[in-house]
Structure 1
Amino acid sequence: MAETLVDIVKRHTDAQGGEGFHATPIKGFALLRANRRQQHPTHLVSQPVLCVVVQGAKCSVFGSRRYDYRAGQALVVSVDKMPGLSRVTRASPSEPYLCIVLEFDPAGMREMLESMPTPPALAGGAQRGIFVTDFAGPATECVWRMARLLDTPEAIPVLAPMLRRELYYWLLAGPHGGEIAHVVLGTGHTQRMMKALHALCDQFREPMRIDDLAAIAQLSPSAFHRQFKALTAMTPLQYQKQLRLLEARHLMMAGVANAESAAYRVGYESPSQFSREYARMFGAPPRRDVVALSAAVA
């Protein structure tokens, strides 16, 4: 009897030490495992990815929206550099949380879209950059075959690109194909919104001017604010603030800055304001949070 996805992911994560995030020889194809529910969320900045839950359950929060997803479902993040948090909600040593993470390649998806005889109808209105979808049928079979390739490394360079291309077809042909095409491929006004979002991301340390970002998106400031929130589930100011605080945390964890210097390096003018907002986001002041994190990974 052929192995299930649960069997394959469990076997390969066992071979790599069990829990944690495990890269594989297939570019942009990783395995994630947790043997217990998480008591505290993990803060992250997500790239465009497809997170297919093989066993267990998880919740992720981006801005004001919470996404719960379980085995047989997938989280689709189609916006670059999305700050958020996630927490494993169902896992045990006997039935660990297992997930396959596939990075999107916008160029490859664009090529597939252009070659489809019947491309997906583009969704109208303000676009969501994140959603949960049921994951079954041909797309699941495609992911299963990609996972099986891990047992034949010599076949990966030849077959993995073909399977990735096939997966893009099933995603674009599926019920959320129009949304994926809009955001990942950057079509119409969504492309301009993505340019404005990337400008904000690249310059998150600088004072933000909504008028400048709205001009990039070719929208009025009020329309830009509304569409940015629809896309990311947060306001431009909230997005900038989360990027600043996550970068400051990274600098302190790396030992290259203390709380005060990290605050200035990410764009804060007031260390006290930085400390307040940091504690609000991470649950503890900077120094205490970094000490706790360092102890947890030691």
Structure 2
Amino acid sequence: MIKYESPKPSATPTTVEALARVIGRFAQSDGDHATVIPGLTLHRRKAPTAPLHCIYGVGLGVVVQGGKQVTLGEEVADYGPGQSMLTTIDLPVLAHIMHATTREPFLGMMLTLDMRLIMQIASELELSQPDKGSSCQPVTIEKLDGALGDALVRLVNLLDEPQVIPQLAPLIRHEITVRLLTGPHGAQLQHLVAAGSPSRQIAKAVAWLKQNFREPLHVDELAERARMSPSTFRQHFRAITGMSPLQFQKQLRLQEARQLMLNQNLDAGYAGGLVGYESASQFNREYSRLFGAPPQRDIKRMRLS
């Protein structure tokens, strides 16, 4: 499911070093740094981190120093300096920083992508339809293309000129989207925008689930929305996301409950009810299975770390 091999051409060391310098300049302390450029976050860590359950949306991640590991279902992928990771569908993943030190901290960035812009540019470029025999990979890791790397350097450097960000950031984001569609990641994006493709239909189902995960799950209704038979829908859903629709919904519910307890100091019973659980014992059991500890102990551990 996760692609490891990366075709040439790749970004030169100079491009990667330039991106590392500019990220390091704006992300000077440990953490995830939101920026005034919409959808752009910069990341820095001085030590490896524990695995963290999170949701990756449609976006581009780049590592320029250190190393990271991402687990989707049963698939595990490592990526490091000079590599880019594209996610083409909202996915619950397990991610952690593997390589980072005070002397050489982990440095990376994440850029959320605009699906409407991707579809618009794809239609303008008149790209060839993806091979019907090829499969969609919801997460792909490639060497950072040189031209794409240069555009990312220019985007981050705009943080030095906040007054021109509203005018120039959209232009550079447009270029980045063109580079993605025509570069090593292009085949996967084309799967996503191809009219009637299973990938696009499953992406719509995932988007609906993300908005309605509190509601009871009726797979037959989801399959009808995707214009597939229930069995075909289940097959494509698992092939693309690495899990069943029910497992996907559980992860969305449990991650939302975790954030409610962590950020709003809600107790486990109330948080479980808010995300759609009717049984407190079932919530506690499934929470412990996913996060490795009961809610109260897990939240205490999270706060201490």
Aligned 8 A contact 2:129 2:194 in 1: no
Q: Calculate the TM-score normalised by the size of structure 1.
A: 0.90
Q: Secondary structure at the match of 1:254?
A: helix
1:214 equivalent among 215, 223, 238: 223
Aligned counterpart, 1:65? 75
What displacement does 1:126 show?
4.3
- CA shift digits 1:130-177 (9 cap, x unpaired): 221111211111111112222222232222211111111111001331
Q: Calculate the TM-score normalised by the size of structure 2.
A: 0.88
Aligned 8 A contact 1:127 1:227 in 2: no
Indicate how the Cα distance of structure 1 residues 68 and 123 shifts in structure 2: closer, same or farther if over 3 A, else same.
Answer: farther
- CA shift digits 1:235-281 (9 cap, x unpaired): 11110110111111122123353112222222223222211211111
- CA shift digits 1:75-133 (9 cap, x unpaired): 111113x21221001111111111111110112222221222x5254243542222211
Aligned counterpart, 1:173? 182
Q: Secondary structure at the match of 2:289?
A: helix
Aligned counterpart, 2:202? 193
Aligned counterpart, 1:32? 43
What displacement does 1:31 show?
0.7
Aligned counterpart, 1:22? 33
Q: Secondary structure at the match of 1:87?
A: strand
1:47 equivalent among 48, 57, 61: 57
Percent sequence identity over aligned pairs: 38
Q: How many residue pairs align between the two structures?
A: 289
Q: Unpaired segments of 5 or more residues in structure 2?
A: 1-13
Q: Which one is further off, 149-158 or 59-68?
A: 149-158
Aligned 8 A contact 2:19 2:149 in 1: no
Q: Match for 1:5: what amino acid? A: L
Q: Distance in 1 between matches of 2:101 and 2:185?
A: 32
- Residue 261 (1) aligns with residue 270 (2): yes
Q: Distance in 2 between matches of 1:25 and 1:263?
A: 34
Q: Match for 2:57: what amino acid? A: Q
Q: Distance in 2 between matches of 1:123 and 1:175?
A: 15
Q: Distance in 2 between matches of 1:147 and 1:254?
A: 29
Aligned counterpart, 2:22? 8
- Residue 119 (1) aligns with residue 119 (2): no
Q: Distance in 1 between matches of 2:52 and 2:144?
A: 24
What displacement does 1:73 show?
0.7
Aligned counterpart, 2:11? none
Q: Distance in 2 between matches of 1:70 and 1:243?
A: 28
Cα RMSD after superposing both structures: 1.9
Q: Distance in 2 between matches of 1:198 and 1:212?
A: 14
Aligned 8 A contact 2:145 2:184 in 1: no
Q: Unpaired segments of 5 or more residues in structure 1?
A: none
Q: Which one is further off, 84-93 or 199-208?
A: 199-208
- Residue 149 (1) aligns with residue 158 (2): yes
